């Protein structure tokens, strides 16, 4: 094989390896396609930084935190309940380039739960005990407002954020959703 051919072959192999490194570890895993008792209503394969930062009251601050924490990618899936206790479930998986970056975002979510779901309080008596649960109770101003529960945890470099809405979000119905998701979301690298 001539030197020029070797050079082309090496360039192709290096490009393939770099492409594999760039995509393999930087894609956030998708939430499960199916969850028992729920039907999938939408899936977003690429949730961008702007959409994540829009959850915050101070969008620029969260945008800066996500960038400095090494945000790589996020995916999201929304489910509708077939049981009247759970009306909607939104699962988002956010991947970072390091465990420390994932931990920073997890801390932000836990400290700013009220920015994500409205006035929220930690629910120490919630049946799901594997990760903190934050509850937003209807305030009476809107007759159709639902109870909303939020739980977030880290799995390797991934932060899993689960929002459950419906009359049963503050009890066992939501607990079973959190448990099913925790069991199905495998640890990230």
What is the CATH number that goes with domain 29-184?
A: 3.40.1000
What is the pTM assigned to this prediction? 0.81
Q: What is the pLDDT of residue 141?
A: 67
- Residues (pLDDT < 70) of the chain are 1-24, 140-143, 186-189
Q: What is the pLDDT of residue 108?
A: 96
Q: What is the pLDDT of residue 140?
A: 64
Q: For residue 88, report the phi and psi dihedrals to the nearest 5 degrees.
A: -150, 140
**Residue 34: Cβ within 10 Å count:** 11
**Average pLDDT, rounded, for the chain:** 83
pLDDT tens-digit profile of 66-92?
999 999 999 999 999 888 899 999 999
């Amino acid at each position: 094989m001539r030197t020029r051919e070797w050079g082309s072959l090496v360039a192709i192999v290096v490009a393939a390896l770099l492409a594999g490194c760039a995509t393999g570890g930087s894609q956030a895993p998708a939430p499960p396609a199916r969850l028992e008792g729920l039907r999938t209503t939408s899936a977003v394969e690429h949730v961008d930084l702007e959409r994540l930062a829009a959850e915050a009251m101070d969008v620029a601050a969260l945008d800066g935190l996500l960038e400095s924490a090494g945000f790589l990618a996020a995916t999201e899936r929304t489910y509708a309940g077939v049981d009247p206790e759970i009306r909607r479930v939104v699962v988002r998986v956010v991947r970072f380039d390091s465990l420390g970056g994932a931990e920073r975002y997890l801390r932000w979510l836990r400290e700013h739960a009220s920015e994500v779901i409205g006035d929220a309080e930690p629910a120490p008596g919630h049946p799901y005990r594997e990760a903190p649960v934050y509850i937003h109770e209807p305030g009476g101003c809107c007759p159709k407002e639902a109870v909303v529960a939020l739980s977030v945890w880290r799995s390797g470099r991934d932060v899993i954020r689960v929002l459950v809405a419906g009359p049963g979000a503050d009890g066992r119905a939501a607990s079973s959703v959190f448990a099913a998701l925790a069991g199905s979301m495998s640890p990230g690298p």
